[in-house]
Structure 1
Amino acid sequence: MTPVSQKSLSLLVQENKDLKKALRQKQRELNHFIKAGKDLSAPLEFKKVLQVVLSAARRLVRCEDWSLLLFNPTENTLHYALTKGAILKDLKKLQYRLGEGPVGWVAQKGRPLLIPDFSKQKRYDAARFYPHLSARSVLCLPILAKNQVLGVIQMVNRLEEEHFTENDCLLLEKLLDQSTQAIERSDVLQKMSDLVTTDDLTHLYNLRYLDRILEVEMKRSRRYKSSLALIFIDLDYFKQVNDNHGHIMGSQVLIEIADILIESLRAVDVVVRYGGDEFVVLLPNTPLKKATRVAERVRVAIRDFKFLQTEGLSLHIAASFGIASYPEHAKNRTDLIHLADRAMYESKRKGRDMVSVAKK
């Protein structure tokens, strides 16, 4: 065999190997799509749909780090909902505004963003947006349903390849297209409604929900001639926590306060993050005397709790409480909140860490 023939044969052998490798890769991709299709064919809750999609995405495009962020339409922010390993607790404290960072850009524009080599771009600071790892390459795609951006899938640092590629982006776009019907069949609209009425940090109800439910509970109170108590809570010297330990630690304290409130109250009670370090609790069918006992019990639970133990600290924090009752103190929701707020400030004036009742 001549040298030319030998070279041609070697090229053919190599081309054959490359072709077989490409076919095997296409078959693997097809199998992943088939599995995802089967998994998505059954009725699923929104979170389960997202878990299936993210699992398929990780099989299609292997990467060092992955996460899924959900969009909060009320605050125009994104927060981490699913992520690799045990770092969700740390990332849960982070959120990005619409247009902020790679994920914010994707949520704002509604289209994918591929950054093949982070070192060759100057738009985004890797240390700021990826503090938990060294980002070399990033691929972000929007999760869409009925022309709404629900969230963003983010993949960082391609494995087996140096960078993410356009082909990786196309594969994941096909996967998300495949999942669209399943997302729209899920309880996504309910979830979006929950996002509108739920505080992003603590997952308590927010002020928007309070306005709605307070009217409902007052009507129920009138109908059944029962009492409705409202407790206004404000943390004492909370600014010192932020000043001394930083806002991330302050946010963790608020999360722990929310947990204490939920654990201390009945399932029928409504717990609301009113704003900042202020909380409101609605106690349906609860006389004033009983509501005062409940507030006192919660006050002690907060005072005795050791905050930020998981962060290596042991802080003690107190709170001031104010209570107003419908219809005893107020005839409408605005006055009810106002009187409870005034009673809370009376607790502050008297020395804090106490419960005060509105004056008739």
Structure 2
Amino acid sequence: MAVILIVDEDRLFALTLVHVLNSHGHQPVLADSEREAMEALERGEADLVLLSAEMAGRKNLNLLKAIRKARPELPVVLSVARTVPKDTRDQLRGGLYDYINKPFGHVELLMTVERGLERKRLLQENRELLGDLEQRVRELSTFNLVAKTLNSTLNLKEVLDIVMNKIKDLIMAEAWSILMLDESTNELVFEVALGEKGEQVKEMRLAMGQGVAGWVAQNQQPVIVADAASDQRFFKGVDQRTGFRTQSIIATPLISRGRLLGVVEIMNKMGDAPFDDKDLELLQILADHAAIAIENARLYEKAQRLAITDDLTGLYNSRHCDLFMKEALKKARSAGLPLSIIFIDLDHMKEVDDSYGHLLGGQTLREVAERIAALVRPPDMASRYGGDEYVMVLPGKGPEAALKLAEEIRVRIAAEPFLTAEKLSCRLTASIGIACYPQHGGTTDELLSKADKAMYRVKETGKNRVELAG
């Protein structure tokens, strides 16, 4: 049923139109003045206007111009009496869709109305199609940009930030988050979170299967939750901690090569429309791009770690230690700060290899590294320098702090036996030398040499001791 606004001062003629239109399923609305006509339009009461030429032509076409300004998409059909001059008719037709000459029959009226309504429907469909096309072009452009941008970096944090910001641009909501799977604990960790409470949820954890995100991860399926409060999967703990009120959720897993990486989750879509299948499609396409980029970034980071990590112990290797030492010394020299080197050599390690073999000897070196790593915290750096030698670099620390840490390491190594998991009891001690900048040298070679010599003095004078370079 269409609403037809009849604007005509001829009451009898207007009522005749009302009767005809009513009998054919339309809803006519009468207006016999410019004010009434504009009020009806402001209320949205019109799918088509039947406008009297006499009224339209007054005051330099004011009414016709006002209709066009208020509702430019609205079909206007002019009913023209033969008394209207031809020049005026021609002028009026510039603002019209159609016109009909009075007097006219019922069939002519209805055909004219139907043509106008059909044109309105077609225009609306065209606008919607054009809008959909423009939106699709924007989406494809965004996906293309995302792919190019993601391919330009192998930094995991940058990848996550790019993905999050693109999702935010495409799907307007109150909160967005990426949760990554911690494979060591099988938990989801909030790595990136945008929105009013974003900072409060960062690094929070969800168990596998906990909450909507946990369900998505466990089942590796996307989901739309229209009403979070009534959904049994919803976990209230995050809202209770942050004060956020989750109303609706859309989430999809991040999967690469069949392996779960994490979950992308969006809360509370902006506007009146709920999350729908189109939003889910957009999110899944972005998630597919993101998963590949995240996997590549992780592989790159793993390769970087392997390049600077000692395979046996998991500490940094000697190559990284040398580079770190040079950079730390450069910063210390520039800032006028101290720097210390601790050089450790295990006592009697040859006897361990001879007694238990190189396999258990390697296990012993790993256990020593674990005890050292438990005591060394950033910005300090611990490395396996070669064989049974370990080197620590302590930026910003002088002799007193270095002696304290070295003694703690010596005590920790000697305190408990090694290889107890193999039902053996292997005890070790360590000889430790220390050299400090600027007291004992101005280059890394000088500092390492002084620390090494201090360590050998300990070896030659009974072992299991710490000595500062002379």
> Is structure 2 residue 418 aligned with structure 1 residue 332?
yes
Aligned partner (choices 246, 250, 258) of residue 139 of structure 1: 250
1:232/1:16 CA distance change after superposition, 3 Å? closer
Aligned to 1:128: 237
Aligned to 2:207: 97
Aligned to 2:144: 34
Cα separation, 1, equivalents of 2:294 and 2:204: 25
Matched residue SS, 1:12? helix
Aligned partner (choices 212, 217, 222) of residue 112 of structure 1: 222
Structure 2: where are the runs of 5+ without partners? 1-98, 100-111, 319-343, 350-364, 393-399, 430-470
Aligned to 1:187: 298
Matched residue SS, 1:70? strand
> Is structure 2 residue 285 aligned with structure 1 residue 174?
yes
Aligned to 1:148: 259
| Cα distance, 1:69 vs structure 2 | 1.0
More displaced stretch, 156-165 vs 75-84: 156-165
Matched residue SS, 2:260? strand
| Structure of greater relative contact order (alpha carbons < 8 Å, 6+ residues apart) | 1
1:106/1:268 CA distance change after superposition, 3 Å? same
| Cα distance, 1:15 vs structure 2 | 1.7
Q: How does 1:248-287 map to 2 (within 5 A)?
A: 262=377, 266-268=380-382, 284-285=390-391
| Cα distance, 1:42 vs structure 2 | 2.5
| Cα distance, 1:292 vs structure 2 | 6.9
Task: Judge conservation of contact 1:142–1:151 (CA < 8 Å) in 2.
Answer: yes
1:161/1:28 CA distance change after superposition, 3 Å? farther
Cα separation, 1, equivalents of 2:136 and 2:220: 28
Cα separation, 1, equivalents of 2:122 and 2:380: 74
Aligned partner (choices 133, 139, 152) of residue 23 of structure 1: 133
Matched residue SS, 1:75? coil
What letter matches 2:136 in structure 1?
K
Aligned partner (choices 54, 65, 71) of residue 175 of structure 2: 65
TM-score with structure 1 setting the length: 0.57
Cα separation, 2, equivalents of 1:221 and 1:111: 53
Structure 1: where are the runs of 5+ without partners? 195-208, 234-257, 271-282, 297-320, 340-360
Cα separation, 2, equivalents of 1:97 and 1:124: 13
Deviation by residue 1:225-283 (Cα, 9 ceiling, x = unmatched): 8x9794899xxxxxxxxxxxxxxxxxxxxxxxx9xx746x622279xxxxxxxxxxxx9
> Is structure 2 residue 199 aligned with structure 1 residue 82?
no
RMSD: 4.4
> Is structure 2 residue 249 aligned with structure 1 residue 162?
no
1:149/1:4 CA distance change after superposition, 3 Å? same
Task: Judge conservation of contact 1:325–1:336 (CA < 8 Å) in 2.
Answer: no
TM-score with structure 2 setting the length: 0.45
Task: Judge conservation of contact 1:63–1:156 (CA < 8 Å) in 2.
Answer: yes
| Cα distance, 1:73 vs structure 2 | 1.0
1:72/1:295 CA distance change after superposition, 3 Å? same
Task: Judge conservation of contact 1:80–1:88 (CA < 8 Å) in 2.
Answer: no
What letter matches 1:101 in structure 2?
G
Task: Judge conservation of contact 1:116–1:163 (CA < 8 Å) in 2.
Answer: yes
More displaced stretch, 184-193 vs 99-108: 184-193
| Cα distance, 1:110 vs structure 2 | 1.5
Task: Judge conservation of contact 1:70–1:79 (CA < 8 Å) in 2.
Answer: yes
Deviation by residue 1:299-358 (Cα, 9 ceiling, x = unmatched): xxxxxxxxxxxxxxxxxxxxxx997343x4455265799x9xxxxxxxxxxxxxxxxxxx
What letter matches 1:173 in structure 2?
Q
Cα separation, 1, equivalents of 2:126 and 2:189: 47
More displaced stretch, 72-81 vs 116-125: 116-125
1:191/1:117 CA distance change after superposition, 3 Å? farther
Cα separation, 2, equivalents of 1:193 and 1:112: 33
| Cα distance, 1:70 vs structure 2 | 1.1
Task: Judge conservation of contact 1:77–1:96 (CA < 8 Å) in 2.
Answer: yes
Cα separation, 1, equivalents of 2:113 and 2:177: 53
Task: Judge conservation of contact 2:174–2:195 (CA < 8 Å) in 1.
Answer: no
Q: How many pairs are equivalent? A: 255
1:42/1:21 CA distance change after superposition, 3 Å? same
Largest Rg, 1 or 2: 2
Matched residue SS, 2:209? coil
| Cα distance, 1:116 vs structure 2 | 2.2
| Cα distance, 1:60 vs structure 2 | 1.8
Cα separation, 2, equivalents of 1:232 and 1:185: 29
Aligned to 2:61: none
Task: Judge conservation of contact 2:176–2:267 (CA < 8 Å) in 1.
Answer: yes
Task: Judge conservation of contact 1:71–1:150 (CA < 8 Å) in 2.
Answer: yes
Cα separation, 2, equivalents of 1:75 and 1:189: 22
- Identical pairs, percent: 24
Cα separation, 2, equivalents of 1:7 and 1:121: 44
Cα separation, 2, equivalents of 1:76 and 1:91: 18
Task: Judge conservation of contact 1:324–1:336 (CA < 8 Å) in 2.
Answer: no
Task: Judge conservation of contact 2:180–2:263 (CA < 8 Å) in 1.
Answer: yes
Matched residue SS, 1:83? strand
Task: Judge conservation of contact 1:101–1:129 (CA < 8 Å) in 2.
Answer: no
Task: Judge conservation of contact 1:78–1:104 (CA < 8 Å) in 2.
Answer: yes
